Chain A
Amino acid sequence: MSRVGLPSLATGRRWLIPLLLPVLTLAGIAVAGGSGPPSPPDTAAESVPLSHRTLACPTADGGAEPAPAGPGLGPVTVANSAEAQGQVRALAAGEATAVELDGAALVSVGLDGPVVVRARGNLAPGLVAGRYAARGRARGAECVGPVADQWFTGVGAGAEHRSVVELINPDAGDAVADMTLLGSTGAIDAPRLRGVRVPGRTSTVIDLAATVPHREVLALRVEVSRGRLVTHVLDEHRPIGNREGSSDWLPGQAEPAPSNVLLGLPAGPGPRRLTVANPGEDRARVQVQVLTADSQFRPTGLEEIDVEAGSTVSVNVTTLVRDQVADGALGLVLTSTAPITATLASLAGGDRSHAVPAPAATRATVPLPDLPDLPASVVLTADARVVNATVISHGRQGRVLATEIVELDPGVAVSHRLPRRTRLVTVVTEEVAFFGAVLVGGRAGSLEQGHLVLPLRPERLRGLRPHMAPGVP
């Protein structure tokens, strides 16, 4: 046995080494702990200042034929809320023009048709644009960037209520949109709305009334399956007979949510209609609450709204809203058991306007119509907790007319009146987000001036640059 080696095993310390070896083995293994899963590399996207931004504004008449009620929109106005100066490009129908921006000063771009505004570098963050009626009642739309998937709730495809969809492709490559319509009984078969191809740098107009005639109030979903598209929807109410119709642009809603805040309730006589769409697979029970400067409460006379899965329900809330507005209501809060989209359409004093939910933001800027003596107020509510919002009003030349601090509480809304000559308003909070909208005309203004509700959408100053690395082969 001595030939084998390990002499100490055969002699004195007979138990030591046999005991020691397993201990050593297990200790070695325990020290390393084996090889766990490799630590994942940091692949989070990097937040960088926005390097390029593209906005598209609707055609002056929304592309609708026959022309919609009300005057056509004026020139596109462009500004940079981040106080950057320089040149941006505006394109329309193959025509390109350079636009010199000087901070918040509004610059008009005299191009016809759908206008695309493109900014690069330091001009990209804070680029805003709008296209509003230059005379008559307040109407028009904020120019927005391409969105891959959004909802337009409360569109019409009938003789009295029709909506015209304008798809603008700001890029060189083709784009394809798939649209779906939800009615009261579910999705409406509309094959012509599927796979709508929009060639590069062109736009397409679809009159829903002509394409899919339907009497009900509907919800429209626009998904872009290829390329990028900017969608504007002109919504027109034209009663049969000789009565004057009214039209305005309906802002889109990014995604269905279980809680929706609709701010901006114009005063004045006329019908109000709340349309709720439930694109999910579960039935939604929607509770409507009124938001005032003092409280949030459930109004009497309005039951829970039941919305079947995949359907749209439109409720006449004329009396309720008119009375509540008279009592100081500033908005509605819709709480649902399932994600929904919603729009409150008002025909106050004969002028149509739409209040749609906007995502919570910590900074938002919107250009206002350049109409003389048009009153405007910003309606705000906090998302989660008390926060101070700074409201900065710029004049036409970009001069700051007022910088005011407004305290926001969750559960109540604040309506803050803007100086009369305000043409660009920016609302900023720190950390805590807010919901907001600008109500132009309406409450304090005369009915002849009409009204316009512009949702305060989060303003993108920074973008995400994705991490890029070779993958596992």
Chain B
Amino acid sequence: MSLPSVACVLVSHDGARWLPQVLAGLQAQEIAPTHLVAVDTGSKDDSRELLAAALRVGPWDGHLDPAPSSTSFPAAVRRALDHLASRGVAPEWIWLLHDDSAPAPSALLELLEAALQRDADICGPKLREWPSLRRLLEVGVTISGTGRRETGLERGEYDQGQHDDIREVLAVNTAGMLVRREVLERLGGFDDELPIFGNDLDFGWRAAASGHRCVVAPAAVVFHAEAAHRGLRRTPLTGRHTRYAERRAALYTLLVNCRPQMLPLLWLRLIAGTVLRMLGLLLTRQVGFALDELAALLSLYTHPRQIHRARRARRALHTEESRAPRLLAPWWLPYRHGLDALGDLAAAVSNQAQDVAERRRLERIATEGGARVAVRGKTPEDDELAEETGWLPRFLTSPVAWLVTVFVVLVLVGARDAWDGVSGAGALSPVPDGVAAWWQLHLSSTHPLGVGTELPAPGYVPILALLGTAFLGNAELAVAALMIGAIPLAALGAWRFFSIIGRLLDHRGAPRWVLGWGAVTWALVPVASGAWGSGRLGTVVVAAVLPWLAAAALGLADPALDRRRRAGWRVGLLLALMAAFVPGTWLLAVLMTLVVGLVGWRTERLGSWRQWRPVAVALGTPVLLLLPWWLPLLANGAPGGLVLEAGRVPSTEVGAWGLIAGRFADAGAPAALGFALALVALLALVPASTRVWVGICWAVAAVAGLAVALLGRLSVDIAGGSSHASLAPSLLLLQAAFITAVLIAGQGASGRVPRPDPPARRRFLLPVAAVAALLPMVTLGWFAVTAGSPAPATASPVPAYMTQSARADVTHGLLLLRGSVEEGLSWTVHRGDGTTLGEDEILALTPPDDGFNAVLRTMVAEPSPELVDALAEQGIVYLLMPAPADGRVAAVLDATGGLVHASTEDRRTRAWRVEPEPAADSVVRETARWRTLLVILQALALLVVLVQCGPARPDPEEAR
């Protein structure tokens, strides 16, 4: 076979680092190109000298073309072709090489053979990693609907001959591309709009569209450094933003080559895709990349003429035999990548959350040698199970699986009635009609509640709004799911936290039955305490989040600074979540920090600011995130809101004994169970092997006790009386400390501690352990049998027609007057759908309207038409005295002109309609601009915090 003539075009720019190997590769070719044109685009290193030397010694007709540095790749290729033409040379094939792509000796031969064999016009080699590694880079490429360069390879896939069939592809990389000169010229070469990146895909697509065949010849190997792609080489053409250039090229390629009927859809899809990609990049703290994405999109979308011109130029090339459609990536590929990305992110989060215990273990391996330290988690029990393959045998033989199943089933049985809806029960007000009401509550600076208020919505309102939105606007379901889901979530978090603690104690970790005990006991704390049954949403959420926060807080002790920093943000976010429901948790965290700081100062182990900075971040984050709540709360003189908790006020009472037993007043499981736990926690101090750790738990309990001492006497003025500060955070912390103490002692009793107590002494603790083991079982049984659901809601005394009137118009308020002359009268205003979840605290903390109160006080004694007018001005349409109405007051109101008797079902309930029309501007006011600013600030802060919480990105160098 006579070989066709081949001219090699080598484009170089500052490639002295790679050129020697490239040129060596060229010289070692089994068949040499007849011509070699080297185009150097203004190299400042030794490239030109190297090229000049190589051109002289090779078996080819060599030429060095010194081009200016602004020469793009397409222009450089064109210069080379022009040079050949000027010399009257018309080689059949052009072989393109980069200065960072070294061909294997047989590369050209294999390419030619493949091209001739398959009757291809373009042929590309298999690209492998520089300099001669076995990792595959590309074996032909195509492009997905989102503009992603698809190689069809796994990341870092090794070349084991698995892709060695010659096959048709959409495009091949220009590094090593063998192309018929005629085809190259007919297609107009590479597009000047794509100076560096993506011109190969565009060229391949154009070639395919005009019916040319492009194949990849895997037998031909070229080692490619991808210097420009990896940012190892910066030219004026790549700029500093490689990603921008790449992304722009991809979008350009899609927009100019796609079928005309697809263009409008693609136009929209690329916008949506860019937004999604930006979000993803922001979440992984790649702000620069996100901006690059945006800039790439904008640069094209703001120049539609450019696209139009390019499309017109391509139209002439299109033929009936277009090969492009079947060579493009399948439609579903971007979605699979999306799922993969999510999976990667989850794995990264999980890996990043690798606890401090694991890293300590690794440190210990490093210092002590691995002799004593077994492989993590490989306990004998694991080994047995690992041998099994089917999930059913694994499930049936796993005590943990049984435990989890029994627990979940019993919890579902216990919470059976809650599925019908829990709102309106106990301390939990009814949910609003829709999620929009929650958003409105969060976004507004004034609320048409009562007689109008400027107090802010509590911090948990946007959380509920988000959750409700996720539940497709079903607010009722969102709250029910939160109440029920909090129990398993708490169990999961506790399992995780306790397993970390267990491994901190000993590399073998706590036995799983101990972990199971701890997780179940903790998950039942909100139930046993009565918080769940009385609808204390805040307490339930805090119980669910606390173990996760504790696990994150352990990261604050991580030796690696970056991980400490991430832990700080994570703790801050979780603390903000808890403080949104029970702000007292933040105060408790501050107190805890102060105590730890004080201990550190006394023992001269305070550490540097560097160590404390993540803690400051953790404490500062809730303040930042809850600013739209806390700032107006303080500005409106209602700081008391900072010690209350989510739900109806006043806060649930809890006595001294209740705190120790973990029981709110007159609620929850039998208190004896709680006292038993406290006693076991006290006895946990006895074993010497774990006393230090149990002591730490008791120190935490002491901080909780200190918080009780500080907050217990605090009283907050609320509408209709006063409320004590919520002691739920202290109660939960006490219980957490007790459970952890018992758990640690349990691990000690199992012998999985560095210096276990003698077995004889451990046997002594068996009865105590037996009692402890019974506690969660009895509690779970109690829950499954008796709890059911939070206490049922009481029927509203408001007649249906009044409720409808109030719903129809927020200015059609209903004034409820309760009490008697002797015991005092109290009033509340019912508007819209009544007081719903999120509005309780606003109404309770709103300072009393003395003027309106005086109007009502005078009205029940000496009514006059002017007072009735005052009612209308406040947007009151009905007056209602629920049964049993005080006849004397009712008689006075009956006698008042301007009040007309209104019907009620119950004769003992009295009602009147206010004759004057209510004022339209009575309670509806415009939202202040500062509120909008605060909410925007909050959203931005949340975004930043979420991004900061994300897993640390692996160092690129380390990854390589």
Report A's interface with B, CB cutoff 8 A.
Answer: 1, 4-7, 9-10, 14, 17-19, 21-22, 24-41, 43-45, 51-52, 146, 148-149, 170-175, 224-228, 463-473
- CB neighbours (8 Å) of B890 from chain A are 226
Tell me which of B702, B708, B720 contacts A472 (CB under 8 A).
Answer: B720
Which of B713, B754, B894 has the largest number of chain A CB atoms within 10 A? B894
When the two chains form their complex, are residues B692 and A9 in contact, meaning their CB atoms are under 8 A apart?
yes
Within 8 A of A (CB), among B814-844: 816, 818-828, 835, 839-840, 843-844
Within 8 A of A (CB), among B841-857: 843-844, 848-849, 853, 856-857
Report B's interface with A, CB cutoff 8 A.
Answer: 450, 599, 603, 605, 648-651, 653-660, 665, 682, 685, 691-696, 698-699, 701-702, 704-713, 715, 718-725, 727, 734, 754, 816, 818-828, 835, 839-840, 843-844, 848-849, 853, 856-857, 860-862, 887-892, 894-897, 899-901, 907, 910
CB distance from B611 to the nearest CB of A (A): 14
A40 to B, closest residue via Cβ: B721
When the two chains form their complex, are residues B887 and A149 in contact, meaning their CB atoms are under 8 A apart?
yes
- CB neighbours (8 Å) of B685 from chain A are 18-19, 22
Tell me which of B698, B713, B734 contacts A32 (CB under 8 A).
Answer: B713
- CB neighbours (8 Å) of A464 from chain B are 821-822
Tell me which of A52, A175, A473 contacts B828 (CB under 8 A).
Answer: A473
A41 to B, closest residue via Cβ: B721
Bound Cα distance A130, B37 (Å): 132
CB distance from B130 to the nearest CB of A (A): 45
Bound Cα distance A273, B564 (Å): 98
When the two chains form their complex, are residues A28 and B708 in contact, meaning their CB atoms are under 8 A apart?
yes
Bound Cα distance A105, B633 (Å): 62
CB distance from B770 to the nearest CB of A (A): 22
Tell me which of A22, A27, A29, A148 contacts B682 (CB under 8 A).
Answer: A22
Minimum-distance CB pairs A-B, first 8? A32-B712, A43-B824, A28-B705, A471-B826, A171-B895, A35-B724, A467-B824, A473-B843
Supposing A4-B696, A148-B888 touch, asked if A473 and B450 sit within 8 A by C-beta, the answer is yes
- CB neighbours (8 Å) of A40 from chain B are 721
When the two chains form their complex, are residues A38 and B721 in contact, meaning their CB atoms are under 8 A apart?
yes
CB distance from B275 to the nearest CB of A (A): 41
When the two chains form their complex, are residues A466 and B824 in contact, meaning their CB atoms are under 8 A apart?
yes
Bound Cα distance A149, B887 (Å): 9
Bound Cα distance A43, B705 (Å): 34
B723 to A, closest residue via Cβ: A38
Supposing A35-B727, A471-B720, A472-B649 touch, asked if A173 and B827 sit within 8 A by C-beta, the answer is no
Tell me which of B706, B824, B825, B897 contacts A28 (CB under 8 A).
Answer: B706
14 contacts between A and B (CB under 8 A): A18-B685, A18-B694, A25-B705, A29-B659, A35-B651, A51-B862, A149-B887, A227-B891, A468-B827, A471-B818, A472-B844, A473-B648, A473-B719, A473-B835
- CB neighbours (8 Å) of A7 from chain B are 603
Since A5-B603, A464-B821 are in contact, a sample of 18 more A-B pairs with Cβ atoms closer than 8 Å, ordered by chain A residue number, is A6-B699, A25-B704, A26-B660, A28-B705, A28-B709, A32-B710, A32-B711, A34-B653, A34-B712, A34-B727, A39-B715, A41-B722, A52-B862, A148-B887, A174-B894, A469-B825, A469-B848, A471-B819
Bound Cα distance A38, B724 (Å): 6
- CB neighbours (8 Å) of A226 from chain B are 890, 894, 901, 910
CB distance from A451 to the nearest CB of B (A): 34
Tell me which of B653, B704, B826, B888 contacts A35 (CB under 8 A).
Answer: B653
When the two chains form their complex, are residues B853 and A37 in contact, meaning their CB atoms are under 8 A apart?
no
CB distance from B824 to the nearest CB of A (A): 3
Bound Cα distance A225, B890 (Å): 9
Bound Cα distance A1, B692 (Å): 9
When the two chains form their complex, are residues A173 and B897 in contact, meaning their CB atoms are under 8 A apart?
yes
A27 to B, closest residue via Cβ: B705
When the two chains form their complex, are residues A44 and B857 in contact, meaning their CB atoms are under 8 A apart?
no
Which of A19, A35, A466 has the largest number of chain B CB atoms within 10 A? A35
Supposing A6-B692, A39-B722 touch, asked if A34 and B654 sit within 8 A by C-beta, the answer is yes
B844 to A, closest residue via Cβ: A473
Bound Cα distance A10, B689 (Å): 11
Bound Cα distance A4, B725 (Å): 34
CB distance from A200 to the nearest CB of B (A): 8
A146 to B, closest residue via Cβ: B891
B360 to A, closest residue via Cβ: A3
When the two chains form their complex, are residues B709 and A17 in contact, meaning their CB atoms are under 8 A apart?
no
Bound Cα distance A9, B695 (Å): 8
A3 to B, closest residue via Cβ: B360
A465 to B, closest residue via Cβ: B861
- CB neighbours (8 Å) of B910 from chain A are 226
Tell me which of A4, A32, A39, A227 contacts B693 (CB under 8 A).
Answer: A4
- CB neighbours (8 Å) of A32 from chain B are 656, 708-713
CB distance from B583 to the nearest CB of A (A): 16
When the two chains form their complex, are residues A470 and B656 in contact, meaning their CB atoms are under 8 A apart?
no
CB distance from A17 to the nearest CB of B (A): 6
B688 to A, closest residue via Cβ: A14
CB distance from A132 to the nearest CB of B (A): 28
- CB neighbours (8 Å) of A25 from chain B are 698, 701-702, 704-705, 734
CB distance from A26 to the nearest CB of B (A): 7
Which of B653, B682, B694, B826 has the largest number of chain A CB atoms within 10 A? B826
CB distance from A458 to the nearest CB of B (A): 16
A33 to B, closest residue via Cβ: B656
When the two chains form their complex, are residues A468 and B825 in contact, meaning their CB atoms are under 8 A apart?
yes
When the two chains form their complex, are residues B450 and A175 in contact, meaning their CB atoms are under 8 A apart?
no
A223 to B, closest residue via Cβ: B887
- CB neighbours (8 Å) of A44 from chain B are 822-824
Bound Cα distance A51, B655 (Å): 46
- CB neighbours (8 Å) of A174 from chain B are 894, 901
Supposing A465-B857, A469-B848, A473-B719 touch, asked if A6 and B696 sit within 8 A by C-beta, the answer is yes
Bound Cα distance A37, B653 (Å): 6
Supposing A25-B701, A38-B721, A228-B891 touch, asked if A470 and B709 sit within 8 A by C-beta, the answer is no
Bound Cα distance A433, B717 (Å): 41
Bound Cα distance A17, B705 (Å): 16
Bound Cα distance A391, B890 (Å): 37
When the two chains form their complex, are residues B603 and A173 in contact, meaning their CB atoms are under 8 A apart?
no
When the two chains form their complex, are residues B861 and A469 in contact, meaning their CB atoms are under 8 A apart?
no
Bound Cα distance A30, B694 (Å): 22
Tell me which of B709, B715, B725 contacts A29 (CB under 8 A).
Answer: B709
- CB neighbours (8 Å) of B718 from chain A are 472
- CB neighbours (8 Å) of B818 from chain A are 471
When the two chains form their complex, are residues B894 and A227 in contact, meaning their CB atoms are under 8 A apart?
yes
- CB neighbours (8 Å) of A28 from chain B are 702, 704-709
When the two chains form their complex, are residues B659 and A472 in contact, meaning their CB atoms are under 8 A apart?
no
- CB neighbours (8 Å) of A41 from chain B are 720-722
CB distance from B428 to the nearest CB of A (A): 14
When the two chains form their complex, are residues B691 and A18 in contact, meaning their CB atoms are under 8 A apart?
yes
Tell me which of A36, A45, A468 contacts B653 (CB under 8 A).
Answer: A36
CB distance from A369 to the nearest CB of B (A): 31
When the two chains form their complex, are residues A21 and B695 in contact, meaning their CB atoms are under 8 A apart?
yes
When the two chains form their complex, are residues B705 and A468 in contact, meaning their CB atoms are under 8 A apart?
no
Supposing A25-B704, A32-B712 touch, asked if A228 and B653 sit within 8 A by C-beta, the answer is no
- CB neighbours (8 Å) of B899 from chain A are 173
When the two chains form their complex, are residues B698 and A34 in contact, meaning their CB atoms are under 8 A apart?
no
- CB neighbours (8 Å) of B907 from chain A are 225
B822 to A, closest residue via Cβ: A45
When the two chains form their complex, are residues A21 and B824 in contact, meaning their CB atoms are under 8 A apart?
no
CB distance from B479 to the nearest CB of A (A): 18
CB distance from B301 to the nearest CB of A (A): 51
Bound Cα distance A171, B653 (Å): 47
- CB neighbours (8 Å) of A31 from chain B are 708-709, 712
Bound Cα distance A403, B654 (Å): 62
When the two chains form their complex, are residues B719 and A472 in contact, meaning their CB atoms are under 8 A apart?
yes
Tell me which of A10, A24, A30, A470 contacts B702 (CB under 8 A).
Answer: A24
- CB neighbours (8 Å) of B822 from chain A are 44-45, 464, 466
When the two chains form their complex, are residues B844 and A29 in contact, meaning their CB atoms are under 8 A apart?
no
CB distance from A380 to the nearest CB of B (A): 29
A149 to B, closest residue via Cβ: B887
When the two chains form their complex, are residues A172 and B901 in contact, meaning their CB atoms are under 8 A apart?
no
